[in-house]
Amino acid sequence: MRLFIALDLPPEARQAAAEVTRELKSSGADVKWVKLDLMHLTLKFLGETPKDQVPEIKAALERACQGKPGFDLAIKGCGAFPANKKPQVVWLGLEGQVERLKDLAAAIEGDMELLGFPPERRAFKAHLTLGRLRKGPKRGGRGGKAGGSTVPLSRAIAALTDFQGPAFKADKVVLMKSTLTPAGPIYEPLAEFELA
């Protein structure tokens, strides 16, 4: 089964993401946008995992979350990886008690590494993924649709770099199963872990 660990998002955070996505869609870029009901903040992607390993993952997450307080976050800014002028992944940024979020992610990363999951090579960056540019044939353009340009998308992102979304409390970690289908992924929570 394909698994990942995430922070649950409240409706107001999802609504802010939907608002920004609508603005960015007007650029016409060929982006696979994340569905509103599937939006989450990924803490660790585990990938294909044997079913019999799930109990020890749950036990490790229980330990990682135990005694850790919930924390306050707010949506702030819009950008892209690797850069706004070369967008491949479009995201919303987060501010607030981000150090607590990083500490939680580091604790989970360390516990999952002890279970044999390879550590993430990149430093953890607190963000919500809005969409990924589709990889298609390029004929004279610079990404996006075949023959198209990412310039309109880059401009739309630049216009939203100071976007201020709602504040919210992060207080629940979820172990999620992801089933890939032709219509898109289906997420099923396997376990939830409350933060103090």
Residue 5 appears among annotated catalytic residues? no
Q: Counting Cβ atoms within 10 Å, is residue 119 exposed (0-12), middle (13-18) or buried (19+)?
A: exposed
From 40, 44, 145, 177, the catalytic residue: 40
From 44, 127, 145, 177, the catalytic residue: 127
Per-residue pLDDT tens digits for 54-66: 999 999 999 999 9
Mean pLDDT of the chain: 91
Per-residue pLDDT tens digits for 53-108: 999 999 999 999 999 999 999 999 999 999 999 999 999 999 999 999 999 999 99
Alpha carbon distance 2, 113 (integer Å): 17
Closest among 39, 43, 70, 65 to 165, alpha carbons compared: 39
Domain boundaries, the chain: 2-194
Residue 127 appears among annotated catalytic residues? yes
Closest among 193, 195, 196 to 62, alpha carbons compared: 193
Proportion of the chain above pLDDT 70, given as a percent: 93
Q: How far is CA 1 from CA 39, 44, 61, 112, in A?
A: 20, 15, 18, 16
Alpha carbon distance 68, 70 (integer Å): 7
Tell me which H or E stretch contains 131: strand 127-133
Q: State which amino acid sits at residue 113.
A: E
φ, ψ of residue 130 to 5 degrees: the values are: -95, -35
**What pTM value is reported for the model?**
0.87
Tell me which H or E stretch contains 180: none
φ, ψ of residue 47 to 5 degrees: the values are: 75, -160
CATH architecture of 2-194: Alpha-Beta Complex (3.90)
Per-residue pLDDT tens digits for 110-162: 999 999 999 998 889 999 999 999 875 443 444 444 435 899 999 999 999 99
Cα 47 versus chain centre, distance: 15
